Amino acid sequence: MMRDSISKKSTCKLLPNQRIVGRWQKNPYRIIKELGYGATGTVYLAEGQSGLVALKIASDSMSITSEVNVMRQFSKVQGPSLGPSFYEADDYVCKEGVFPFYTMEYIKGEPFLPFLRDKGAEWLGILVVQLLGDLHHLHKAGWVFGDLKPENLLVTKKPFRVRWLDVGGMTKQGRGIKEYTEFFDRGYWGVGNRKAEPSYDLFSVCMLFLNRAYPSRFEKDNDVGPAKLLMKFKEKKLIAPYESIFRKGIEGKYHHAQEMKKDLVDLLQHTSFSVKGNARGNNSNNSLKKRGARNKKSRKEKRFIGFFETMFVASFLLIIYILYLFGQTM
């Protein structure tokens, strides 16, 4: 089993401002900082001759070769860019040995959960709609994401868009999932196996909702299964509007990403979300209350202003959502 607690000792440690040169392509790179590490290696932000890149280095050439092959498959998948573009693969030779690495597009964005932290619950649904569209294209090409979790997702701006990062868990459909994180793994929760199929990813998507409400996550106990997860879900009002989607997902009733996406779009169109949880909305409400106290506004006036502000924010978010869905069809 591969989990988050993978030791960095299995990879080559690179330092800021360290320069490395590929053994075969002879392209130089300057290391800027570490971006993250996982089961198959460490990813660094580096500067190459053509600009910034993400450089992943490991000690196992087989794992690097496997990931490179997966990334090359992206170019064959119709639809939006599913993950970072692949640039080149090479070896780095140093006194500690020979370490395979590859470079890919550096995606600048905000991590998935921090992006959602000060936004209303509707934003989670909007991003998941787009994620499900991307998963549909991936599944049609015969692949499963596998290790789907917030750490492997970034939200870019102009426009807002979810992008995928680490492809180490990508698995051909029909095979066993090769890399996973327990909280997002249906096998861990006793609600399914670890066979690479669309429903495996869709379970992980459902767990994104729970992770939004439980940023620190939680572990299983003697009580596992859909009932346990549903109980934890119902304890959080923030994600309550998504209960019907969550229930069907963890029970394995969605077989295709498009099914889940359709239900989620319908839910977003017919659900009135509270602006509570949106930092701008909260600040505006607090400001209105203070001004109301100072000016001794009547209770009727306060209700009117509060209602007007809520409708304005809701309308603004609805316009963003419609424009976003329109962009997804282009």
Query: What does pTM read for this prediction?
Result: 0.78
Q: Are residues 64 and 17 in the same domain?
A: yes
| Residue tagged 């909702």 (tokens) | 209
Q: How confident is the model at residue 3 (pLDDT cuts 50, 70, 90)?
A: very low
pLDDT at 144: 94
Please indicate, yes or no, whether residues 139 and 167 belong to a single structural domain of this protein. yes
As for how many domains the chain has, the answer is 3
Q: Which of 65, 81, 105 is the last residue of a domain?
A: 105
The DSSP secondary-structure symbol of 218 reads -
- Residue 1 belongs to a domain: no
Whether 134 and 258 share a structural domain: yes
| pLDDT at residue 14 in the model | 96
Same domain, 101 and 202: no
Share of the chain above pLDDT 70, in %: 76
Query: What pLDDT score was predicted for residue 278?
Result: 42
The 10s digit of each residue's pLDDT in 206-257 is 999 999 999 999 999 887 789 999 999 999 999 999 999 999 999 999 999 9
pLDDT (mean) for 34-62: 90
147 is catalytic: yes
User: Peptide bond before 111: cis, by omega within 30 degrees of 0?
Assistant: no
- pLDDT interval class at 303 (50, 70, 90): low
C-beta separation of 198 from 257 below 8 A:
yes
Question: Which of the four pLDDT bands, split at 50, 70 and 90, describes residue 81?
Answer: low
Specify which residues 230 forms β-bridges with: none
In a domain, 2, yes or no: no
First-last CA distance in the chain: 40
Q: Are 80 and 126 in a shared domain?
A: no
Q: Which domain holds residue 175?
A: 110-270
One domain for residues 156 and 301: no
The pLDDT tens digits for 248-275 are 999 999 999 999 999 999 999 998 886 5
* Partners of 29 in beta bridges: 20
Q: Is 172 annotated as a binding residue?
A: no
Give me the CATH number covering residue 237. Answer: 1.10.510.10
CA 226 – CA 246 distance, rounded (Å): 10
Strand ranges (E), the chain: 19-21, 28-38, 41-48, 51-57, 86-94, 97-105, 110-111, 143-144, 153-156, 161-164, 171-172
Q: In this structure, is residue 249 part of a structural domain?
A: yes
CA 216, 220, 221, 224 torsion-angle sign = positive
Q: Which of 90, 147, 185, 201 is catalytic?
A: 147
Across the chain, mean pLDDT equals 83
